[in-house]
A = this chain, B = another copy of it.
């Protein structure tokens, strides 16, 4: 088969700061998926994109080209409106777990395709797999059966969705090209658009524990993704939210399920509840549903939907969750106000305890993690527990404590804090 372009010409165009044409983008993404553009060519192009950028037209087209390499799901058989959520990831971010059954209980279809954790970011699938028997991998038919049973589903994205993204993501990971905003935005949005929901709410996190620690970069990413989604016919909004301190009090896997159940039962830490409700309201508004998510919790309907969803995926919602074999309590060194608690340090410490994986093939310890007992602004007495470290292997406490050193402080200068919800971008944002 004769090819429309030579790979080097496309690379050189972007290297020299020129815009790529629609035809060049369509071809290079497809040809890379087919193996005609080699890894070493795509990585050079990715570096040129990272350093020279892409404009909105190029990013939208690149996203569409990645979607076109695979299949696109369709939920039009469901009478209810479908709506989806994506978070760029943070420490203690278990929002998906309570959010999906709450929004489903309000009448929407919530097909939530999720990922696993890598590095110190937790993964929703890893958290859900703390539940005995629960299966992440579903066929399309099984996924729809779960949606019929409970209105929501949390499962792994199949290989058929945007295979170009899967291949490109692995390449970027080893070539220093993860940080390109055009490639981050198109990677996230190609999967989310291919998932087929009619509405999408993005939770773009910023602060020391976020992938986009820098606010202007988070804003650029959010604006770019909102534009891509709406251009592709998916009603898309974004909240830019704080990831300077951990979200809620649990950082791990099984303990984050426990905290999610507290929210569904009407309790839970205030910051987590506030964020879940804010995201739920955006999702319901996009879906055109006039329903109150708080009422879905207090009525018990959200918990019913959770139980139905977990059961439909083979899980036992009433089984005991895994517990770590060992605990280590960190106490307040002095009496005073907890002034600092950095999300980054807590996240890395939980990862070192076994809650996360360093390489894709690593196993994780579902019971490992950190229970926080205080948040910044809380008054603590000397010797009072600040946090409980959980691990299956006692030797992990020392490296975790080393990571925590300097990440929390009692009685110092209060750390700079971000508001929980920093900015909201909707369909009218330009």
Contacts and interface: CB of A to CB of B under 8 A. Distances in A.
Interface of A: 7-8, 11-12, 15, 38-48, 50-52, 171, 174-177
A168 to B, nearest CB: 11
Residue among A15, A171, A176, A177 with max Cβ neighbours from chain B (10 Å): A176
29 contacts: A8-B174, A8-B175, A11-B176, A12-B176, A15-B47, A15-B176, A15-B177, A38-B39, A38-B40, A39-B39, A39-B40, A40-B42, A40-B43, A40-B171, A40-B174, A41-B174, A41-B175, A43-B43, A43-B47, A43-B175, A44-B44, A44-B46, A44-B47, A44-B175, A44-B176, A45-B176, A47-B47, A48-B51, A51-B52
Contacts of A40: 38-40, 42-43, 171, 174-175
A350 to B, nearest CB: 22
The 4 A-B pairs at the shortest CB distance, nearest first, are namely A11-B176, A47-B47, A44-B175, A39-B40
Contacts of A176: 8, 11-12, 15, 41, 44-45, 48
Contacts of A52: 51
A164 B39 CA distance: 19
Contacts of A48: 47, 51, 176
A177 B44 contact: yes
A379 B421 CA distance: 80
A214 to B, nearest CB: 13
A41 B171 CA distance: 9
A421 B39 CA distance: 43
